[in-house]
Structures are given as structure tokens and as C-alpha cells.
Structure 1
Amino acid sequence: MKRGLLIYPSTTPRGNNAFGWFREAAACYGMELEVLFYDSSGAGALAGAPAWTPDFVLMRGYNTALSRWYEAQGVTVVNSTDSMILCRDKYRCSEVLAAAGVPVPGALSLAEAEGGAAFPFILKLNYGSKGENVFLIGNEREYREALEACRMEEQHRLEELSRGITEFGETPEEVAYGCTPVLQEFIASSRGRDIRVWVTGDEVAGHVLRYNDRSFKSNFAAGGSFRQIPLPPEAASTALAAARAAGLFFAGVDLLFDGHGGFKVCEINGNAGFRTASSDIPDALFRALSRASGQSA
């Protein structure tokens, strides 16, 4: 029997239903799973780590020191440290996807935008999630207000880091980099709607249409809704290509409608939640792990 670790940051509520879902899915494929929590960015900060070496580790947070430590022991880490670092960096990830031929909205760094950017556009923090600190900018006043909000968020994240919370960076320099604004092309044809596609291994594991009639943001955490729709073949192929280009084994890919029957990858998440999933994501994940490890299902 293969044994693995499911590792979360210590800020995760202990009553999280996902713990049981992951354990049950692992058992269906003959795997044993233990849930652990880390308290800081140090590799030695994993409280209650077992004496045995796991066959695999599922990282449900950003702790590069810890994930690299396990990789150095020859342990399979999902997702790999390098792929998680890449996907956390929205600007760099956009560059990598574009270079691989994956369609993405145009993006500019703040320095590149000094020469001027055409309104409207999206402004977001380089590190962020759940639709937080994402702004639709239509004029200079909104631009200045969004930049000020980014500066305030940086101060908040630095205060969090001083208390040992490393969700948005493990050093002050990384926090500052993560709070650097990124300007992204606004795809008006996808205002308030996108398709979230979950990828496990080389398969689409689930998908939903996310929509919000009151906002340009479709995120469920930001007040959006969701419903089932047939997944267009081009959406599936685009999501798979994005996960492959980013090196992710497990991914949540957010697809924008480009207005011409195709899709552009807004973002790709290596630590994607799945409350709105159209299928059993933990089961799909462990099925993919079982295949990858050569086990029979």
C-alpha cells in the first residue's frame, strides 16, 4: 500500500470537509493518507511528521522549502515546487503559456505600462486568489485608487508575514514582488463569466461555468454563481495545454470567452479549490496518481 501526506497551512480550519474527501478517495485506490499542517516556511516546521518516508505528498499551500525538501528525498510532490512557483507568479506564467502557444490575454508589468495603457484593463496583484485585489480600470482615477489599494495590501501581507503567515510570500522581498500590480487585457466578451476546468494528470476531471450578473468577476468566492454546461472541445484542449505548459499535475484553469468561439487562459491555479466542481475531483486526482505510479485501479 502506498502512503502519502496531505499538507495544509496551519491556518486551514480543522473541520475542512476536504480532509475526508481526500482520505476516502485515496482508500479507493489502495492508498493511505495522513493530514499534516505546517506553521512556517521552514522545512523543519511540519508538526507531527511521521518517521516513515511517504510515497507522495499533496501540497495544499505554498511552502517551497518544505516541498523542495521532500523532492530532494525522491518523494513525488503534487504539484512540483517549480510548477507551483510559476503558477503563483501571474505575469511570468502568462509569458510561459504564451511562449507555449496557449492563448492568453495580453499582459504588462507596471514598468512596461509606464508609457501608457489603453482603458479599460484589468489590474491585479501578481500573487492573489479568489478574485481579491482585482480591479477593472476605466480611467486615471480608478487606476490611482487601485494602485493605492495594492500598496495597502502589501502592508497587510507584511504584517501577516511578521506573524508567521506565509500564504503570500516567505520573505519580505517575495511579499513585495507578489504585490506588484499586473495589467491584463480586459476581455469584454467574457465579462462576469468564465469556465473553470479542473485537470488531473492528462485528463479533464471536471468543469463548471462561473458567472456573476453584478460584477466583472465570476469567482464563486467573490459572489459568483455556477452551473453545469457541456464543455466545448476547444475549452478542454486549451485547459490541458495550459496545465501541461505549466508543469502541473493537478490544476484549476480559468478560461475566458474570446468572443470568436475560442478561449483564453485568464489564470491557472496549482492549489485550486473544488467546491463548485462538476465531478469528484479527489477521486480523479487519486485515479491519476494511481495510473502515474503504475498501480491498477
Structure 2
Amino acid sequence: MSFEGSYLGANDRISAQAVMECKICWTPYDPAEGDDFRQVEPGTAFADLPEDWSCPNCSAPKEQFMVLEDPGAADLLEAARIKAVTDRLEADFAEVYHAKMRDVPIVNKALRVEAVGFQRHGDCLLGVLVSPWFMNLVLLPDEGAEWRELRAGDKEVIGFPSGEYEFLHNSREMTGPYKACSLFSPMGEFTRQKDATDVARAVMAALFDEANRAETDRAAEIRAQREADLAEMAAEEAAMDAGEVPDLRGAPSRRAVLTAGLSNSGAAEQPSVEQG
């Protein structure tokens, strides 16, 4: 028969900060202090104690301890709440993989679907979704947020300390509405799941680093210049259609610059890819 606050070996019910107490002799275990008697270093969480560890006063086993106080309990509950949401996200895209993507040539079978680094961000949950065919920044509505007006296919620019990023709106049956910003696709450069998740965690750190703003601003400048080049190229074509011949001597064709290499890439039709 258990009672509220009992441990009973349930590591998932206590945080690394939990102070535990023997319910037989009331001897506490504080992770900040460790256990000199068993040479347990300070900073060792109760859940990380050796399986054969016992109360230094009465030798009661770990299962006989109860929670005295747990400063990290709120964080533990928050992590469990976020995990419930990201579990649905992973299941949703794992289903996509098995139903549609498993035999597509661009899929990297060394990888699996995994939600990485999700955390609360305003009224959203923000993290990175790694899959065998893409890596995306993903925003999900947090509790109480209403995204009923979100329309699949719409685009939205969202600002972070590191810069402005374009997100595509979408929705899936299990996940519901979400917003995704493409980071990598396809994923052929990753040889291990750990390599991909390490990059995903680095992305989450870099996203909130203002020192990276110059790089993203430069990317915006490049996009703006490309759009200007395309507009100028369209004007040149309009002039030629009107019978005017622009002077292009000594300058490469803008079309050749903007489409460099595409003419030699082959005309084979690419498979349809389910994007995040």
C-alpha cells in the first residue's frame, strides 16, 4: 500500500533536485550534499544513486524513501506536458515515413523522426523536427493558443534575436496546426542520428543569439539582390519581345548566372516529397 509522496522506484516522478526522506527513520537525502557514508558525490540525484544504495542510518532500501521537497517538480511537469505534444508530432511524421516516404530515394535511412529541444516560446512550443528527409524549425500552439485561422500553404515571417525567418503554415491530423521553417532537405549529409540532433540543438541555441543577426541579414540581402536580378531579367526579356536588343556585350547572361548548372542537372522528374 503506497501513499502520496512515496517513491517506490518511480524515477520519472521526481526531478534531479528532489530531497528525499526515509519513511522509516526520517533520514533525508539531499542531492546537493550527497552521501559521505557511501562516498556519493554532492550533486548526485536520488534517481542516479546505485541500485544497492540504502539509508545510511537504518539501511532501508531506496524504495522506502518519500519526497520531502522537490524544487524541480514544476519543471518536471512542464517537460512531461511538452513531451506529450512532441510524442504526437513524432508519431504523425513517423506515419508519413512508413506510408509515403520509406522507399523514396532521397530518404536517409540512417535517420529517424525525432523532436529535439522543444520549449515554450510565447504562446507557442518551439523546437526542431528531425526526419529522414528534412530538418525543420517547428512552432506548435501552446495550451490556450487558438490557431483556427491558420491556412495550410500560407507563409509568415517570424522574428527571433538572430533574425527574421519564413515559416510555412500547415496542419496534420494528429499534430494539428503548425508552422515550419526548412533548415535542411534532403538529409544526405548526415551519417548518424546524433549528428543530426547535435545540429538541431545548435540551431536552437543560435536562434536566440543576436551575434548571428549579421549573417541572417546578409542572407536577406542576397535574396533581395536575387529578386532584383530576376526583375531586371524580366525587363530585358520584355524589351526583346518589343523588338529592342539590350547591350549584353562583355556581361554574362543573367539567366545563365541565376540558373547556373541547372541545364546540366538532367530532366528526370523528382519524386513528390512530403515536407514538414
TM-score interval, normalised by the smaller of the two chains = under 0.3
Greater relative contact order (Cα < 8 A, sep 6+): 1
Q: TM-score, normalised by structure 2?
A: 0.25
